[in-house]
Each structure stands twice: as C-alpha cells, then as structure tokens.
Amino acid sequence: MWINMTSKLWGFKNYRLRTKLIVTYVLLTVIPMSLLGYIAYSQYSTSIEEQVGEYIPKILAQANENISNQIREFSNLPDQLYNSDQMVGILRKDSYQNQSSMLQDEFTFNNYLSRNFINGESSDILGVFVLSKNRIFQSTKIPYSNFEGTDYKDIYGQEIELGGEEKFLLPHQTSLQFEGNPPFVLLMKQLTDLENRTNLGTVLIAVDISFLENVIKNLNEEGKAKLWMMDEDGRIIYHTNPELVRSIDSLAVDYPKINGSFRTTKEEQNRLISLNYLDGTGWILAHSILAENLTERTDLVRNATIIIFIVFVLISTVISILLAWNVSSPLHRLTNSMKNVEKGNFDVDLSITTTDEVGILANNFTSMVTEIKELVRKNYQIELKQKEAELYALQSQINPHFMYNTLETIVMSVEEDEKDTVVEMVTLLGRMLRYSISNKEDIVPISDELAHIKDYLRIQKIRFEDKFDFAIHEDKNALRFYTPKFILQPLVENAVKYGMKSGQDGKLEVSVEWLQQANGSYVIVFKVKDNGPGIKPESLEKIQHMLADDPMIKKDSHFGLLNVHARVAMNFGSEYGVKISSLVGEGTEVEIKIPVLVGGSEESQNEIRKN
Amino acid sequence: MQALKFIYCLLIALLFVSACNPGFQEQEQYEIIYSMEEEAPQEAAFNRNQQITIAVVPKVANIAYFQAVEEGALEAAEDLGVNILYEGPVFANATQQIEIIKEMIQNNVDAIAVSANDPEELAPVLLQARAKGIKVITWDADTVPEARDFFINMVDPETLGRHLMDILAWNTDEKGEFAILTGALSASNLNEWLYWIQIHQKEYYPEMTLVEVAANDDDPQLAYKLSKDLLKKYPNLKGIIGNSSVGPPAAAKAVKELDRVGEVAVVGLSTPSPMNEHLKDGSAQIVTLWSPKKLGYLTVRLAYNSYKGNDPTDWQEIPEVGKIRMIGDTVIMGEPMDFTKENVDQYDF
C-alpha cells in the first residue's frame, strides 16, 4: 500500500506541470470545502437533534405532570365515599332482612353516585360502578353495554387486594363499552373500611381519556409526530392514531428505560423517540418523529450547501484550468521557441506581454535571442567591412591614378637623374605595398599605421614638391597603443584629394593624441586636418547625417570615410567613430576616436577577436 | 488519461471525507441522545430479603382496645411484608413495659412503637434503644419527646377532651355531678384529656360538677369496683366519663347492676364491641373513639416509613388510612367517632 502510494506520488511528480497544477488546485478546493460542508452539516443536524431530544422530554414531562395531576384527582374521587357515613353504612351491610330495604339502599347509593360523581365537577367521568358484597351500585353518564354480562367478579373481583393503590384497567382489559365508543380507562380502587379494616368493595370509575388529548394536543401541532401513551408492556392506551388504541407497540420492550430521548439507528427511516414515565401508573408518554422531519430545514441548508459546493468546485476547476493554462502555456511556447533557437532559427516571436516571472523570462529570452541575432549579423558585417577596407586599401595602393602618378613621378625623377628620390619613392611604395599585403592582423600598432601614412604622404609630397606639405604630431603615449588597420589612409587620401584642388599650397596635419575624457577614461584621437577649400555646409550636413546613420547601411559615395566610421563604430560602439568639421575656405578637419587598445593585452585581443 | 487520473484523485478525496460518517460504525439499535435523570436509584439500601422487624408495645395486653390495635398492626405487617412483635404487659405498668422493651432490644428489632404507661420512666430504656440505632416512636400515649422520634396521637387531645365533656352534657341536661374513670394516673394522654375535659366544663357547663377522678390502671375488675364505689359514694351522680377504654363498660355494668339505668349517663372512650349491649339496653349512652385497628395499621406503616427514612408530614396521604395531620412532632390520625345504639353494629371491634 505504502509502496503503491509512494510510486503514485512519484508518478505524480513526473506529471506535466499543467496536470499537477489542476489536480493541486482542485484538491485544495474540493477537500477543504467538502470537509467543511460535511462537518458543518452534520454538526448542525446533530445539534438540532440534540436540542429537540432535550426539549421534547421536558415537554412530555410537563404534559405528564398535568396528566398526573388529573389522574391524582381521579384517584382521589373514590375517597369521597368515605365522607358519607350513610354510604359507608350501606357498604358495611352484608345481609338484608328484605328486598325493599336492599333496593332502598341501592336507590340511595345510586343517587349519591349520580350527585357526587356524574353530576360533579369532573366532566371526564363516564360512569361509576361500586361492587360491594354481591351488589352493584352504579351511575353512568351515557348508556353502556357488556358490563353486567361479563363475570366481573372474576375479572375485577371483590376480594382483590390492591393494598390501597389504585389500578387502571386499560381498554383491552375490559369488555365494557359505552355508547359512541369513547376512549376510556377504568380506574379501579378498593374501598377499605378504615375503621373496621375490612374490604367494603371496589369502585370502578370509567374515565374518558380524551383529556389526554387536550393535554398533549400542543405537542403535535404539525401532525408530523406520533404521540401515544402506553403501559409498561407497550399496550397503547392512547394514540394520535385512534386505530392503534388497544394494540401493542412491539418495539416498546426494547426501548431504553429512560426519561429522555433516543434515536433509532437501524431503521430505514430513523426516528427520534422521546419517552417520559408517568409516576404511579407506570404509563409512558411517547413521542416519535422521523429524523428527516426534524432536519427538514437542515436538508435545505444541506442542499444549498451541496449546490454551492458544486458551483464552487466547477468555478474553481475552471479557474484552476485557466490558471494552469496561463502559467503553463507561456512556458510551453517558451520551450518551443528555445527548441527553435537551439536548431538555429533566431526568428522567435514570443508574444508574451505579462510582467510576471514567465513574462520576464520570455522577455529576457527574446532580447537575448535578438542580441545574439544582432551580434551574429554585426560580426558578419564587421568581417565584411574589414574585408572591404582591406580591399579598399589594396585598391588605393594599386589605384591606377596613384600608381600612375607615383610611377610618373619616379619616371620624372629618373629622367632628372634624381637617384635618391627614385630610390626613396620605390622604397616607400614597396613598404606601402608590403604593409597592405601583410594583413594578417586586424589591429596594428599606431606607429605602424602612422608609418604607413607617413610613407603615403612622403610619396605625395615628392610628387607635389613644394605645393604640398604635411606635418605629423605624435603623442608619445599614444604610440604605445594599437589601432585598427587602414583607418587613417582613407582620410588622408581624402584630404589630399580635396585639399589639393584649389591650387594653393596644401598643408596637411595629422595628429594622434592620447586624451583623457570628461569621465576619466582615455581615448585615442586621430586628427587629419587640411587647409583646403572646405566642404559646403549642405554637403557637410549630408556627410554628418550619413555618419550619424546606421553605419551598417551601405553607401556609395564617401565610401572610405564611411567605411572607417562603420568599422570603428561597429567594433567599439557608437561613441567612437569619425567626426568631421569643415569651414568653407578654411579647410576640413576629420577626427577618429578609438578606445585605448593595448596590443599585447588579452583584453583588447579578445575584444577585437570577438568583433 | 489525465482526466481519469484526476477523477481518481477526486474519488479518493471524497471517500476520505465520507469515511468520517458515523453510519459506517457498528452500533446499538438505539442511540440515547438525552436522558433527564440518571438511572433511577435502586432500592439497594434495603435488601428485600432482609426481614424488617417492628416491635409494637401496647400499654396492656389483654383488653379489647389493644387487641384491635394488634389486628390493625398485623394487617399492615402483611401489607408491608414486615415482621411484627406485639407484646404488652399484663397490667398497665411501666416496669413491665420496660422489661418487654429490653427484651425487644435484645431481639434486635428495627423499630419499636410503644404506647407508654409512664412518660418519664420509659425514657431511659427508649433512649437506650435509640442509641442502638433502633427507631423509636410512640403511639396512643406519649413519652418525653427526647425518648422518641414522633408520637402518633389518635385525635387532637383538646378536641377529644372537649368532645367527651360535650357528650356527657348532652345526656345530663348540662347539669349535675359527674365522675371520671381514668386509666393510669401516669398516662400522659389520659391526663391531657382530663385537663381538656375540665377546661371545657369550666368554660361551658358551670352547672356541672366534677366530684372525683378515679384511676383504674386499665384493669377491668378494678374499674368495675371503682364504678360501683362511685355510684354508692355519690347518690346524686348524674354521669360517668370513662376516660380510658376499660372505663365505660365497667361503669355501664355497674349502673345496670345497681339499677341506676336512666339516672346515671355513661359516656367515654371505648371500643364498640364491649359497649354494644350496654348502648342498646341504655346502660350507656354514647362512647366515642377512633378505630384502634386503624391506629395499629397507621403505627406500623409510620414505623416502617420512618425506618426507611421517611418521617410523616402534614396532610400526608397514608394508604388505607387517609390523610394525617402533623402538629409539631405529633401525628394526629383523625377525628373521634361516636358510637350509639344506632350505628354500633357497623363496627366489629
């Protein structure tokens, strides 16, 4: 069993999150609610039963008290006979000299009974019979039958010893019947001659027990309960159903002998039975009501509870399913996206807008994927740009014009027999070509780049002779650092190309500086300044606009400038790159800002390689 | 599949909840919800098999009055299922009574009911009995109150004394000399009646004169002799009151013997049987009494009740007796009955 349970629990552990959530939610709702409902209902109905079970016996006891009083009054009635010396005198006689005196006594006695019993205060007396020494004195309110016919002496006896107690003869014990068949009991009491201590006879008083009905009427207002009076053997004396009078309640012998209440537990419809014993007579007043009648109102509560329970369970089930769905569905989508990404598809579309943990996770995932995608693209672009730059640089060197110009200059020098110049030019050209071709490294020491530029400018100076001059300002500190290759050449080329057009003496200044910025960090700044005609503001604006744009966008004109800017910006971020300023007639200044790159340090190596 | 598992879990939950239902448990056919009182206490304190013995001691054994008491006592003993020891002295004498009571104490009786010949002399032995846990009550004639639980008086002594005076007065035209025959001078009840007879005479019958109170010690022979002596001694005597039950028959007999019938009225306390003849032949006029049988019956009943811890109460209904009164610690059985030649046949004691 335990193992079974554990394995089930284990199994549950591996269920899908959605199932787990639904089961947990539903159990968390159903178990407490059903427990609560059940306990509330059972407590409620038990307490109702207890209250009624306590209340009814008290009412019954009260009713019994009234009945007792009534019966005590009836029991005392025969004692009235003792108050009349004449009647006691008649009863004491046991022999007569003649018939007339006997009839005279009978007349007197019957009259007395009529006056004192039948016409007396108690309206519940149907008849009085006094059996004494083979005489019957009697008086009845309504005609009767079957009394004289029976051998009453055997049944009621004259010599019975009741020891001064009264006895009740129940309807089934006598064949006496009154006209109209009213329910009655016979109160039997022995008459003792108190002075002579002899038996005078027996008084039988037929008492209409409708008075019971009056006493216990209020107990059965709704008619749902059964109410009856029975003797100790279960013989029913009075019942709310008159047909049951004289019959025997066969269950009565098993009833607990208590003044109180008990409930049956084994019947199809359980009943709450309350009993109260009537002192003296041994009669039992019993009240029985179906438990379901008692709990009718409780049943309403129960049904309402059940309906509410079901509704709540349904609602909570729906809510729990929705909730589980809400939680699990984004996760599900996230999982799918991850699988896609895993396969290399970076085009994820997670429309998860929530700000909960799943939402944050999804957002992070999305931005991560986006970044990856971006990086991939960037890397690709940078690679491309680098290649472009190399190509450009190569193109510049083998630029037909440049080559032509340079070679022409060399030819002219040969012609003028300027051997030194020829040697120098060829050397310079050769060095430039070597620098361009030896492009194994992406970054080079700034000094190398500067040397390359110097070579270029020397060639140009030799070519233009006095019309062109240049100056290179090197910051000693800056020379310790590195720079991406070929970033200066396009700018210098531009400066030569545009700065030399006006025909005046061109002057070019190249500087490299190691500068501390406002935020304390250091940058390397290259400046290429010419004293050419400058750029018209419209053109300048256009160029600056292009520089500010996404450096990835492919541009046709100003290719060199933009390529440098794009490479720097892509590699190091948008705060780095190319800035251009120009005044018409004054010249143009182009500035490249790059971070401080330490050639040997791993950090910078990594940075470069990463890009 | 998931749904099935879910339903399965739900079912387990419901089963768990419904297992709390007490309907599953094995139980009695009836479940008691409320009982108004504890189980009625059994009368275990008194073992039914244990025979209760009540000693009834009259003033004297062999007179009709106390024989009638014995009959009543035996009737009650039968009704109650108790054992009765009824024994009285040959003469109405305290000393003999004390001997009898001592004997009863030795016999380990449960209760002693005594009609005391002398209230003072009997007290020590009765106290001795009480010390041994025996219930002691008195009837007919009382002792000092300390010596008993309560006293069963037949009638209110004032009522009886005044009534005795009245019935004599009716028969003597309220005038003339009269004498009283009493029992023992030490008997407290007789003395009380005597007291009230004299009070009543002084209050209402100034023309009547009490000439002598003669004590006969409840001895019929002595009573007869005293009666004759009185008749001889007081020739103008108009009436005799017999203050104890042997008095009136002796007086009536003496009146008849001395041929004074019609001249001297005889009234008093006596049982009807010995007076039947005298009432009818006019040698006696009215005797008044209670039923000694009833007294005997009541005595045993009350002794029994008292032994069981139920002392009598005012207006208590005693089965086969009727209602009794209580005045202090004295029980009053009822009113005196008059016996005349008309009704004397109705009584058999």
**Locate tokens 């970044």: which residue?**
A371
Put simply, whether B335 touches A (Cβ < 8 Å) is: no
By CB atoms closer than 10 A (0-12, 13-18, 19+), residue A242 is exposed
Structure token pair of residue B176? 């003339």
**Locate tokens 């040959």: which residue?**
B90
A260 and B337 in contact by Cβ < 8 A? no
Contacts of B37 in chain A (CB under 8 A): 259
B17 and A34 in contact by Cβ < 8 A? yes
B34 and A265 in contact by Cβ < 8 A? no
Q: Is the Cβ–Cβ distance between A276 and A34 less than 8 Å? A: no
**Among A514, A505, A499, residue whose Cα is nearest residue A590:** A499
CA atoms of A524 and B116, how far apart (whole Å): 148
Average pLDDT over residues B203-224: 92
- Residue A194: which of B6, B9, B321 has the nearest Cβ? B321
Closest residue in A to B22 (Cα) is A42
pLDDT at residue B223, rounded to an integer: 93
A265 and B343 in contact by Cβ < 8 A? no
The DSSP-derived string for A520-539 is S-EEEEEEEEE-S----HHH
Put simply, whether A54 touches B (Cβ < 8 Å) is: yes
Q: How far is B144 from chain A, CA to nearest CA, in Å? A: 29
List, as own/partner pairs, every contact residues A515-522 make where C-beta atoms lie below 8 angstroms and the sequence separation is at least 24, other chains included: A522/A596
Which 8-state DSSP code applies to residue B60? Answer: -
Q: First-to-last CA distance in chain A?
A: 63
Query: pLDDT tens, B89-119?
Result: 988 888 999 999 999 999 989 999 999 988 8
CA atoms of B132 and B150, how far apart (whole Å): 17
B13 and A34 in contact by Cβ < 8 A? yes
pLDDT at residue A7, rounded to an integer: 61
Structure token pair of residue A416? 């003028």
Q: A556-571 as b/e, with b when 16 or more CB fall inside 10 Å?
A: eebebbbbbbbbbbbb
Query: pLDDT tens, B245-273?
Result: 899 999 999 999 999 998 999 999 998 98
Query: pLDDT tens, B2-41?
Result: 544 555 555 555 554 444 444 444 456 788 878 876 544 4
Q: Is the Cβ–Cβ distance between B89 and B96 less than 8 Å? A: yes
User: Which uninterrupted H or E stretch holds A578?
Assistant: strand A577-583
CA atoms of A88 and A112, how far apart (whole Å): 12
Put simply, whether B35 touches A (Cβ < 8 Å) is: yes
Q: What share of chain B in percent tops pLDDT 90?
A: 59
Structure token pair of residue A243? 């047909």
Beta-carbon contacts of residue A301 (< 8 Å; ≥ 6 apart): A41, A44
Q: A392-423 as b/e, with b when 16 or more CB fall inside 10 Å?
A: bbeebbeeeebeeebeebbeebeeeeeeebbe
CA atoms of A170 and A159, how far apart (whole Å): 20
Q: B58-75 as b/e, with b when 16 or more CB fall inside 10 Å?
A: bbbbebbbbbbbbbbbbb
**Among B227, B226, B245, B349, residue whose Cα is nearest residue B291:** B349
CB pairs under 8 A between A and B: 122
Q: A143-162 as b/e, with b when 16 or more CB fall inside 10 Å?
A: ebeebeeeebeeebebeeeb
By CB atoms closer than 10 A (0-12, 13-18, 19+), residue A209 is buried
CA angle B74, B76, B78 (to 5 degrees): 70
pLDDT band at residue B151 using 50, 70 and 90 as cut-offs:
very high
**Locate tokens 């939402």: which residue?**
A359
Q: How far is A304 from chain B, CA to nearest CA, in Å? A: 18
User: Which uninterrupted H or E stretch holds B321?
Assistant: none
Q: Is the Cβ–Cβ distance between A270 and A263 less than 8 Å? A: yes
Average pLDDT over residues B301-320: 90
Q: Phi first, then psi: what are they for A89, rounded to 5°?
A: -60, -45
Q: How far is A379 from chain B, CA to nearest CA, in Å? A: 49
Contacts of B13 in chain A (CB under 8 A): 27, 30-31, 34
* Whether complex ipTM tops 0.85: no
B291 and A27 in contact by Cβ < 8 A? no
CA atoms of A380 and A570, how far apart (whole Å): 11
Put simply, whether B304 touches A (Cβ < 8 Å) is: no
Give bridge partners of residue B43 from the DSSP assignment. Answer: none
pLDDT at residue B43, rounded to an integer: 45
Average pLDDT of chain B to the nearest whole number? 86
pLDDT at residue A170, rounded to an integer: 78
Contacts of B299 in chain A (CB under 8 A): none
pLDDT at B44 over 50: no
The DSSP-derived string for B195-243 is HHHHHHHHHH-TTEEEEEEEE-TT-HHHHHHHHHHHHHH-TTEEEEEE-
Lay out the sheet containing A125-132: strands in order across.
A135-140, A125-132, A198-208, A184-193, A166-169
**Amino acid in the structure at residue B247:** G
Q: Phi first, then psi: what are they for A583, rounded to 5°?
A: -125, 135
Q: How far is B163 from chain A, CA to nearest CA, in Å? A: 19
**Segments of chain A with pLDDT less than 70:** 1-10, 122, 148-165, 220-223, 386-387, 389-400, 439-440, 501-504, 550-559, 599-611
CA atoms of B49 and B52, how far apart (whole Å): 9
A265 and B28 in contact by Cβ < 8 A? yes
Distances in Å between the alpha carbon of A98 and those of A101, A104, A130, A131, A347?
6, 10, 21, 20, 140
β-strand pairing of A522-530 with A587-595: antiparallel
CA atoms of A88 and A104, how far apart (whole Å): 15
**Among A12, A22, A35, residue whose Cα is nearest residue A317:** A22
CA atoms of A148 and A127, how far apart (whole Å): 14
pLDDT at residue A376, rounded to an integer: 83
pLDDT at B339 over 50: yes
Q: How many helices (H) and strands (E) does chain B have?
A: 10, 16
The angle that helices A559-572 and A357-397 make with each other, rounded to 10 degrees, is 140
How many residues are listed for chain A in this entry? 611
pLDDT at residue A501, rounded to an integer: 62
Put simply, whether A406 touches B (Cβ < 8 Å) is: no
The DSSP-derived string for A169-195 is E-GGG---EETT---EEEEEEEEEETT
Q: Phi first, then psi: what are they for A594, rounded to 5°?
A: -130, 160
Q: Is the Cβ–Cβ distance between B105 and B81 less than 8 Å? A: no
**Amino acid in the structure at residue B52:** I
Residue A257 C-alpha from the chain's centroid: 53
Distances in Å between the alpha carbon of A52 and those of A271, B84, B319?
12, 52, 39
Q: First-to-last CA distance in chain B?
A: 105
Q: How far is B187 from chain A, CA to nearest CA, in Å? A: 24
CA-based torsion, A564, A568, A570, A574: positive or negative: negative
pLDDT at residue A610, rounded to an integer: 39
Q: Is the Cβ–Cβ distance between A495 and A590 less than 8 Å? A: yes
Put simply, whether B337 touches A (Cβ < 8 Å) is: yes
- Residue B36: which of A163, A254, A259 has the nearest Cβ? A259
Put simply, whether A20 touches B (Cβ < 8 Å) is: no
Structure token pair of residue A103? 């009839």
